[in-house]
Amino acid sequence: TEAWRPDDEERRGASGPVRVRVPAKVNLHLGVGPLRRDGYHELNTVYHAISIYDELTARRGDTLTLTMEGEGTGELALDDSNLVIRAAHALAGYAGVLPHARLHLRKQIPLAGGLAGGSADAAAALVACDTLWGTGLSREELAGIAADLGSDVPFLIHGGTALGTGRGEAVSPVLARPTSWHWVVAIADGGLSTPQAYRELDRLRETGAAGPPLGSTDTLLAALRQRDPRILAPTLGNDLQDAALSMRPALATTLKAGEAAGALAGIVSGSGPTCVFLTADAADAQRVATELEAAGVCRQARVAHGPVHGARVT
């Protein structure tokens, strides 16, 4: 008989808790193209992972359970509709293992904020359960399962800065010399529904009330390579911003307040209502955040930097 080797145990997964940290995303460029036959819009986007994190801890268990603390506690359902549970089931199904785990989510990314918090949690669950169960999938296999869970999920596995095409699920990294960009993230009271924001954009476009579409990401990508926030600032753009402003006119005041406080540029993040501001450096970011909170134009203003890694075991 063969001798027992600790390696075998390792390969069958982790025995202790697995903790995964996953970032929020912003879209530096969110170009929304035509509505496709499958109901999604064709996107041309540049994703950017920033240092606001959710954390998912996975422990061994006899069933699949989810508990949580932080943003959205009491509001967010912890049943099969939760993206964490859906991700765990998807991975277990793919790998042919039982979906047994005790999962605990510590949430800092606001709900329905346009920061892809739900997608981040799905990415975290894939990485955490893959380690806990020792299923050992490649990043590409995980990204494949991720794409079925949501358009932003593959990016949140990768992190960094990346180009997204298709409905956003096809990601390729943007290669750039290491730079840190300094952001202020103005979190609003309450959320905005992403499907509703897309419908509002369609309506604005039909009535001719939407601005011209952003088009190519070339200018933004060239600006990223310059590593100068003053060059990057005027290239940031979001086709969903008109829709978010139409649904939540007060966001115009938030955007103005950030720029008045010294931000180089401000845009709505994804489908909103979170607004993100690019600043010259970390000290400026702190100043802008303090002024935004004092002006009472958001629930909370947080400083963040990017790019940061995607979902990772800590």
Cα–Cα nearest to 298, from 284, 51, 269: 269
Q: Which two tokens stand for residue 206?
A: 């039909």
At its nearest, how many Å lie between ligand ATP and the CB of residue 159? 15
Judged by CB under 6 A, which of 43, 91, 112, 240 binds ligand ATP? Answer: 112
Q: What is the CB neighbour count within 10 angstroms for residue 93?
A: 11
Give the chain's count of helices (H) and strands (E): 11, 12
Active site residue 130: no
Residue whose entry in the numeric block shows the structure tokens 């991700």: 87
**Stretch of 7-15, 106-114, 156-164, 293-301 lying at the interface with ligand ATP (CB under 6 A):** 106-114
Q: Which two tokens stand for residue 48?
A: 């950017």
Q: Which two tokens stand for residue 204?
A: 């604005």
Cα–Cα nearest to 42, from 50, 53, 31, 52: 31
Judged by CB under 6 A, which of 13, 31, 113, 154 binds ligand ATP? Answer: 113
Per annotation, catalytic residue among 121, 152, 239, 284: 152
At its nearest, how many Å lie between ligand ATP and the CB of residue 203? 18
Active site residue 228: no
The interface mask with ligand ATP, positions 169-198, x = CB under 6 A, is -------------------------x----
Cα–Cα nearest to 201, from 141, 148, 241: 241
Judged by CB under 6 A, which of 14, 111, 176, 313 binds ligand ATP? Answer: 111
* CB nearer to ligand ATP: pick between 109 and 232: 109
Judged by CB under 6 A, which of 44, 82, 161, 254 binds ligand ATP? Answer: 82
Restricted to residues 135-174, the positions that interact with ligand ATP (CB under 6 A) are 152
| Interaction of residue 270 with ligand ATP, rule CB under 6 A | yes
Q: What is the CB neighbour count within 10 angstroms for residue 212?
A: 6
Is 209 within any annotated ligand binding site? no
Judged by CB under 6 A, which of 22, 56, 76, 188 binds ligand ATP? Answer: 76
List own/partner pairs for 202-210 with CB under 8 A and 24 or more apart. 202/35, 204/242, 204/243, 204/246, 209/242, 209/246, 210/239, 210/242, 210/243
* CB nearer to ligand ATP: pick between 116 and 289: 116
CA atoms within 13 A on the CB side of 16: 3
Catalytic residues: 25, 152
Interface residues with ligand ATP (CB under 6 A) are 76, 82-84, 111-119, 121, 152, 194, 270-271
Binding region for ATP: 110-120
